[in-house]
Amino acid sequence: MKLNIGIVGLPNVGKSTIFNALTETAKAGVANYPFCTIDPNVGIVDVPDERLEKLAQIENSKKIIPATIEFVDIAGLVKGASKGEGLGNQFLSNIRNVSAIAHVVRCFEDEDVVHVEGSVNPVRDAEIIETELILADLQTVEKRLEKVLKPAKSGDKKAKFEVQVLEKAKDVLQQLQPLRTNLSQFDEEEIDYMKKTIFPLTIKPVMYVANIDEEYLPEGEGNPFVQQLKEKAEKEGAPVVVLCGKVEQEIVELPKEERKEILEAYGLSEPGLSRMIKTGYRLLDLITYFTAGEKEARAWTIKKGTKAPQAAGEIHSDFERGFIAAEVISYEDLIKVGSLQKAKESGILRIEGKDYVVQDGDVIHFRFNV
């Protein structure tokens, strides 16, 4: 399952620093000038999950394979991007290909780091990007409308439906509102049409990442910029992850055994990046199920609501095609009983059929025959 999150923001807000820390690489260039990132950098990141480590211990697994999620570091956007300013066209094309957006917002003062707008103002900065995405969507909607109006007037049912949806979308966008905060105005069929036909930028789920000075760790308390951003995000129903990009970079450069000490020094229970990854996972409506044995313990990513045969298909298409049943136990029940073998012996392991909806934390063995 290929699902990815695009890291976006104005130039010089710390996107590439955060991306480098996320991927523990130096693939993304970091410099004090706009458009340091031109082509998008892509990194596959492990999803932190303490359950997998525990599962591997219980089953004496030789190998641990975590779930992963893809992050894409996209060039900084500036005002006028929807008209091609800066790297606008390229930026919009790159963001159209991601599943969700991590919008990095500068919440720190630093005279040595140029701000493209001349001052730090997180709400204004966030709205600059949001407005450009809205204007880009409006262009897409108007162009599509021109194409379908004539057949709609001639009685074409599909075209008439398209015009109906596009006119509603146009009304929202003309009010400079993103589609994602106005989805109650559309039914499921209309939302599905937009996602599969016009690929709107503003329909994608968004999380905000407040990049702060280290003095405001761990949660940004006392930082007025963070409070302003949180107020905006709350109105939209969007999550906010607070972190310090510079500190996150320092942490990943340390040996793993030394990271705990620096986390404690900053009052952090886990890296901000871990919270960012987990938030991205939830943002995409993803859950994890596990397979475990002597050979390996592995986490698998599926969409919430996925049924057992389709979950099996994530392992191999043969598993889905020849699905017979799933032997299932929740992670919590497995921890209580002590091992999969003991679960079988005590009859706790359940047999589920084709209609079973897999739950987060399920430990599963699939029966299949091809």
Does 15 belong to an annotated binding site? yes
Instruction: Find how far residue 341's CA is from the centre of its chain.
Output: 36
The DSSP string of 133-182 is HHHHHHHHHHHHHHHHHHHHHTT-HHHHHHHHHHHHHHHHHHTT--GGGG
Beta strands in 31-138 (DSSP E): 41-46, 63-65, 68-73, 100-106
Pairing type for strands 68-73 and 4-8 reads parallel
Strand partners, 70: 4, 44
Are 211 and 245 a contacting pair, CB within 8 Å?
A: yes
Cβ density class 245-266: b for 16+ within 10 Å, e for less: bbbbbebbeeeeeebeeebeee
Does 16 belong to an annotated binding site? yes
Does 97 belong to an annotated binding site? no
- Specify the 3-state DSSP secondary structure of 314: coil
Q: Rounded to whole angstroms, what are the CA distances from 49 to 26, 66, 329, 360?
A: 25, 8, 18, 12
Does 150 belong to an annotated binding site? no
- Specify the 3-state DSSP secondary structure of 31: coil
Annotation: binding site for ATP: 12-17
Annotation: binding site: 12-17
